[in-house]
Amino acid sequence: MERVLKLEKMLNGIGAAPGIAIGRAIWWKQIQPVVTEETVQDIAAETAKLAAAIETATAQITELKELTAQKMGEAEAAIFDAHLTFLIDPAYTGEMKNRIESKNKNASWACKQVTTEMHTMLASLDDEYMQARADDIRDVGNRLLLILAGETPFDPKQLQAGQVVIAEELTPSDTAQFPTGLAGMVTQRGSKTAHAAIMARTLGIPAVLGLGEAIDQIENEQTVIIDGNQGQVIVNPTPAKQQEVAVEIQEQQKRQQQALETASEDAKTEDGKRIQVFANIGSPADVETALANQAEGIGLFRTEFLYLENTNWPTEEEQYEAYKQVLQAFGDKPVVIRTLDIGGDKELPYAKLPKEENPFLGHRALRFCLDEPEIFRTQLSALLRASVHGNLWIMLPMVENPAEIRAAKALLDECREALAAKQVAYAEDIPVGIMIEIPAAAIHADVLAKEVDFMSIGTNDLAQYTLAADRGNEKVAHLYDAAHPAVLKLVQMTAKAADKAGILVGMCGELAGDLALTETLVGLGLHELSMSATAIPEAKQSIRKTVTDDASKLAEAVLQLEDGEQVRDYLQSK
Amino acid sequence: MVEKTVTIKNPTGLHARPASLFIQKANGFPSTIHIIREDKEVDAKSLLGLMSLAVKQNDQITIRAEGKDAEQAVESLANFIEDLED
């Protein structure tokens, strides 16, 4: 046997989906067929070859589209419509045929040339939407070339449960074919918002993306440890390290399993105060995980996926279907759907939003929607129509003053009237609430509370605005911690204002799922916590161990500390 | 041969959804239809062709058709462009 000294190597990337896993690496590589220029005699045979390849590609993409629609929902599947359109486009496949006929060239050569030209053309346009189509055309072109070469694309059936997929980049065509039970994903390119990241979070497996050139150090069949919390990949871990991680994973699973056994019961504190534990979801595909983890409702349904994964403004029908799907799945349980929160770091290519000097303090979320009533009305109508299928609550993001709430409600009333005129049914008394994420809204919560049925604190933005620190900026990231006492004071102010007004108050930011803070959050007076589904069972356990009086005292003590680090140290020492 | 020149009024120009709808409309006519912007001419039934023109607000384009229903085609497509709002 070959004796090679294999060294443990640590590679750093971006932790894009949480969790720790260990498994064998498998490279997901699309074969790039070698294309040679040939002069052909039998032109009819060559064009027939092209036509057959187009037909096969159409069948493959249609199947992928259906598969994606089933697994991820219609909105995610829409991306394949663009692929199908290209296959019948005279400037694309039509031009390939031209090249064969006018230049006596082989089909593969014509395909490669035209694809390259179209890719260059689209990528050069000063427009993000068009640039995204450039990737689509390359995807379609590669598929045609593989079919023409008689090759089959990397067969996803080779993938097995327990493996870690290593790839340069993962496209929707790739992830749609993943089997269940994969251990994790690692990619060369990509960020937290990349398609692969969303997919990994949906599947509940860890992902480390954006490894860069370092990814080349991973070879097929090597053992890798992937830590999605820290954004680290360990290649060839020593037996001791493997043992250590295996124990950690086992403990993690055991804890989760134990918590899951009691998760179906409501979470009440020792002295009997009920705290509702909801799930945050990003698309109808997340419903299954939320239900499996016994979410008592949805505390935040982000609707951006409908907009971000679409190539244009989603129609009322598309939105209605997505909302209906989630509402039906949850029956009587509340589903809080947040209206469009675009702008800030979430760009929408087709919206052509002008660049802003300071996007986080700019024209985003509700501010944008109130200025684009047509876009907003489409969403509100879809929500109203879907409301008959379950227990819908509507939540407005980035509210700063009562006038904004009234303006949104006026639009909602207009939509109600329009639907009533068309005799379309909608639920009466849909609760309308707001997100508290601007410090002014927290400070002024007593005034805002008069206009709404519930409030939910979005800690990610609230912390960044309160602390004036961008956690994505490594020079100031250490200043960002949602557990900072100043942020927690705003949480307490909001909770007190809600209690005085007799309305529900919850939290749907990342802090809500931070198990170290659960008791403190109960002590600050929150009624509901909404988090990523997998954190729910353990959060319920923490709540059951809490006594409200002690929690209030703990919260008061925490509010006196200096910063987030002190808060975390203090809570750990308790 | 029938042709008509129109100005794009909507702020986002002729891309994304407007472009897809335009293509669908154009494909409904058997006539051969072309779009001309400045010195570039593309097939009006090709989404990629239309995208490559990168038609923006206030641009002028000429719709040219040849065939049995050329007149209706030009009329209908010109109206579509003039009615674009978003």
- A3 pLDDT band, cuts 50/70/90, is very low
Closest Cβ opposite residue A118 in set B17, B48, B54: B48
With an 8 Å Cβ cutoff, are B17 and A94 in contact? no
Provide the pLDDT for residue A475: 77
pTM for the whole structure? 0.65
**Nearest alpha-carbon partner for A392 in A458, A332, A352:** A332
How many CB atoms lie under 10 A from the CB of residue A252? 12
With an 8 Å Cβ cutoff, are A92 and B11 in contact? no
Whether the CB-CB separation of A142 and A119 falls below 8 Å is answered with: no
The percent of chain A in helix, strand and coil, each rounded to the nearest 5, is 55, 15, 30
Q: A450-473: per-residue pLDDT in tens?
A: 999 999 999 989 999 999 988 666
Residues of A noted as catalytic:
195, 508
Provide the pLDDT for residue A512: 92
Q: Which of A53-67, A240-254, A452-466 has the highest mean pLDDT?
A: A452-466
Closest Cβ opposite residue A86 in set B45, B48, B86: B48
Over 70: is that where the pLDDT of A549 sits?
yes
Closest Cβ opposite residue B51 in set A90, A122, A374: A122
Query: In sequence order, which residues have a C-beta less than 8 Å from that of residue A227 and are 6 or more positions away?
Result: A15, A20, A206, A208, A233, A234
Range A499-512 average pLDDT: 93
Q: B21-53: per-residue pLDDT in tens?
A: 888 899 999 999 999 998 889 999 998 888 888
Over 50: is that where the pLDDT of A1 sits?
no
Provide the pLDDT for residue A2: 41
Q: Which of A212-216, A315-319, B8-12 has the highest mean pLDDT?
A: A315-319
Q: Which residues of A touch B55 (CB under 8 A)?
A: none
Question: Is A311 in CB contact (< 8 Å) with chain B?
Answer: yes
Q: Which helix (H) or strand (E) holds A540?
A: helix A536-544
Q: DSSP states of A250-261 as a string?
A: HHHHHHHHHHHH
- DSSP-derived secondary structure letter, A513: G
Nearest residue in B to A349, CA atom: B16
Provide the pLDDT for residue A443: 98
- Cα-based angle A312, A317, A320 (whole degrees, multiple of 5): 110
Interface TM-score (ipTM) > 0.90:
no
- A480 pLDDT band, cuts 50/70/90, is confident
Residue in this structure with the two tokens 């993962």, named with its chain if needed: A170
Closest Cβ opposite residue B47 in set A85, A313, A352: A85
Distance from CA of A374 to the nearest CA of B (A): 10
Most A CBs within 10 A among B33, B48, B56, B85, hence the mutation to make, goes to B48
With an 8 Å Cβ cutoff, are B43 and A91 in contact? yes
Provide the pLDDT for residue A308: 75
Provide the pLDDT for residue A467: 96
Give residues 98 to 127 of A whose Cβ lies within 8 Å of B.
118, 121-122, 125-127
Average pLDDT score over chain A: 89
Provide the pLDDT for residue A157: 66
Alpha carbons A464 and A466: distance in angstroms, whole number: 6
Over 90: is that where the pLDDT of A409 sits?
yes
